[in-house]
Structure 1
Amino acid sequence: MHAIIVKEPGGPDVLESADVPSPVPGPGQVRIRVAAAAVNPVDAATRSGALADAGLMPPFGSRPAVGIGWDVAGTVDEVGPGVTRVAAGDEVIGLKDRLDVPLGAYAEVIVLDADAVAPAPRSVSAIEAATLPLNGLTALQALDLLGLPSGATLLVTGAAGAVGGYAVELAAHRGLRVVATASASDESLVRDLGAEMFVPRGVHLGDAVRALVPGGVEGALDAALLSVAALDAVRNTGTFVAVSGGPSTPVPLRGITVHNVWIRADATQLAQLTALVDENHLTPRVADTLPLHEAPKAHARLEGEALRGRLVLIP
């Protein structure tokens, strides 16, 4: 079968199309024939070596090749021993959350643990469904870390992006009052997603948010990695969740509780996201589709364009 692999870190041109043996599901695993695979920033960070440099995955060379791609939508074509919840022929979405693996979602088939897979939404295409697992779970798990009650105020940075857009919709569905920040041209978009208040990018965020919410918001979900600029908008003893680690995680000043959301595959939560899509509470967004062999072009676009929605690869 065909798959996209990386042997040495580098730019988009190191993405290599290769013929590799088709993987076989082991105990507790399923094999999925890939219909669509979304392209995410973490894929570029894997390819470039940034994750290995940060100690989040083994260095290149520890395996002959590294697989690329986390998000998948497709059809189960084989199940391993002990799997009863999923059957061959099921249309599913799934998340590959292990970094040190020889094959990722950029492939014709992928093997995942059964607890990383859930039924696909019925109301959207596989192309749209492929944008849901990584970004939807990140937003959902970040909101769970925040733990804000209905009626509380929440700042979402990068609200027009993939994680931020899902976060706005999920927060509004939970009854939170969302203050969104994004480019001024995206105000209509994020208000349609459920934001009650809007702050355009480029102003002093803390002052602008506090003018709308005296004393500051009760929580912030920092999808744009604004760090201390977003923390300044949070009231004393509030809660802050960063979507990435490292320098984007601020010091917990003023009694603010600071978390990082480290994404994990979760079949139950994936099923919740599927239901929300089918109930029209979540809106998958696709920027464009490309054939699998054009993965280098997709990565170049990911790094060079301001995309609204995800690029999706089609085997």
Structure 2
Amino acid sequence: MIADAAPADEALVRSLGSDHVVPRGASFASAVRELVPDGVDALADAAVQRDEVVDAVRDGRVFFDLRGCRSNEVRGIEFVQVMVFSEYRSFDKLEQLRHTVESATLTPRIGGAAADCAGGGSARAVGGRGPPGRCVLTC
């Protein structure tokens, strides 16, 4: 697996199982192509960087878009939308997730916590920037 990461997160990304870590940004596709000259068979994009990263995908393979980007076919690449909201009512899956967290089988990565249901304090709690991980609001 190849992943991108900011320099400060590289060790974490490696610890999560990535075989290779390349820098984030405009050079992502070329860095991937240095590792896999023909391109990768699949790419999952959760950061809406389609135009910047699609060149990392081998012709005729698949691009998974986790934010719902609609795209025309490029170089025979199949674009697949993966939409989280289709699972919003999957309470059995959420319950299973809760059990794996409570049993410490899965450890969630939480960037910060704020007791502010209105949400205004959450940005202040993390210094006004998005932390790695997710901010959890507690009410």
TM bucket (normalised to shorter chain) is 0.7 to 0.9
Q: 1:188 aligns to what SS in structure 2?
A: helix
Counterparts in 2 of 1:186-225, with a 5 A limit? 186-202=9-25, 204-225=27-48
**Conservation of the 8 A alpha-carbon contact between 1:228 and 1:250:** no
Which residue is 1:307 aligned to?
131
The match for 2:72 among 251, 265, 275 is: 251
| 1:204 Cα deviation from its structure 2 partner | 1.8
Q: Counterparts of 1:54-73 in structure 2 under 5 Å? A: none
- Does the aligned pair in 2 maintain the 1:231–1:250 contact within 8 Å? no
**SS state of the match for residue 130, structure 2?**
coil
CA radius of gyration, larger in: 1
Is 1:235 the counterpart of 2:39 in the alignment?
Answer: no
Picking from 176, 184, 198, the partner of 2:7 is 184
Matched with 2:113 is: 289
The alpha carbon displacement at 1:222 in A equals 0.4
- Structure 1: distance between partners of 2:91 and 2:74: 35
Provide, for residues 193-233 of structure 1, a one-character-per-residue CA deviation record: whole Å limited to 9, x for no partner: 11111111135222210211231111111011111222111
**Taking structure 1 as the reference length, what is the TM-score of the superposition?**
0.38
Q: Map of 1:1-315 to 2, 5 A cutoff?
A: 178-202=1-25, 204-246=27-69, 249-263=70-84, 264-265=87-88, 266-274=90-98, 277=101, 278=103, 280=105, 282-293=106-117, 295-299=119-123, 304-315=128-139
Give the number of equivalent residue pairs: 135
Helix, strand or coil at the partner of 1:254: coil
Residues 231 and 293 (structure 1), Cα distance of their counterparts in 2 relative to 1, 3 Å cut: closer
- Cα distance in 2 for partners of 1:230, 1:302 equals 28
SS of residue in 2 equivalent to 1:304: coil
Identity of aligned residues (%): 35
- What is the deviation of 1:307? 0.4
TM-score (norm 2): 0.80
Evaluate the alpha carbon distance shift between residue 234 and residue 272 of structure 1 in structure 2; reply closer, same or farther with a 3 A threshold. farther
Show structure 2 runs of 5+ residues with no match: none
Q: How far 1:304 moved relative to its partner?
A: 3.4
SS of residue matched to 1:253? coil
